[in-house]
């Protein structure tokens, strides 16, 4: 299991960036990220995405719990699929590993949906602890914050 999230800075704020090559056409991935009904099958629960910008089928941006999210799609001529670049800008660097592990698991659910075999949230959380620990080490943040969040999660 490789880590594909990177910790960057955007306008002085921490941000996570995930780039994934997907074997699906842009239009199919666009539908999965832009259609609220499909988003329910993989996007984190708790608050819907408040869409602030939409340029079909290339860009979907919005806010989620006050943080900025961007989904960018482009065709990938080499594979016939597409490239998804997801960016989440947030306030507290110390939450980076927890947040990265959460998005890693959500993107695993997106992959499963696109594969035609949707994954429920509980199943996606099975790998969360290992993914979180690897991100905490990679980003050099204290893992306790994420460990506590996982322990408090109603599905774990």
pLDDT in tens, 106-134: 999 999 999 999 999 999 999 999 999 99
Q: Is the pLDDT of residue 147 over 70?
A: yes
Residue 1 has pLDDT above 80, yes or no: no
Quick check: 34 pLDDT over 90?
yes
Record the pTM. 0.94
Q: Does the domain spanning 5-151 belong to CATH 2.60.120.10?
A: no
Distant-in-sequence, close-in-space partners of 54: CB < 8 Å, separation ≥ 6? 34, 60, 61
pLDDT score of 4:
87
pLDDT band at 3 (very low <50, low <70, confident <90, very high): low
| For residue 2, pLDDT beyond 60 | no
pLDDT at 155: 82
Q: Does pLDDT of 12 surpass 60?
A: yes
Q: For position 154, what pLDDT does the model report?
A: 84
Residues 6+ apart with CB under 8 A from 7: 14, 15, 16, 93, 96, 100, 138, 139
* Residue range 42-99, pLDDT digits in tens: 999 889 999 999 999 999 999 999 999 999 999 998 889 999 999 999 999 999 999 9
Mean pLDDT of the chain: 95
100, 146 contact by CB (below 8 A): no
């Amino acid at each position: 299991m490789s880590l594909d999230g990177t910790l960057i800075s955007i306008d002085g704020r921490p941000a996570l960036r995930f780039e994934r090559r997907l074997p699906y056409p842009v239009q199919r991935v666009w539908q999965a990220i832009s259609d609220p009904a499909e988003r329910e099958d993989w996007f984190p629960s708790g608050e819907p995405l408040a869409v602030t910008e939409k340029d079909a089928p290339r860009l979907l941006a919005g806010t989620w719990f006050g943080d900025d999210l961007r989904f960018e799609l482009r065709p990938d001529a080499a594979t016939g699929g597409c490239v998804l670049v997801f960016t989440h800008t947030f306030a507290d660097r110390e939450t980076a590993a927890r947040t990265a592990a959460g998005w890693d698991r959500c993107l695993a659910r997106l992959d499963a949906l696109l594969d035609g075999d949707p994954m429920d949230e509980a199943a996606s959380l099975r790998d969360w602890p290992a993914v979180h620990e690897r991100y905490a080490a990679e980003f050099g943040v204290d893992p306790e914050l994420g460990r506590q969040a996982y322990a408090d999660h109603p599905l774990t």
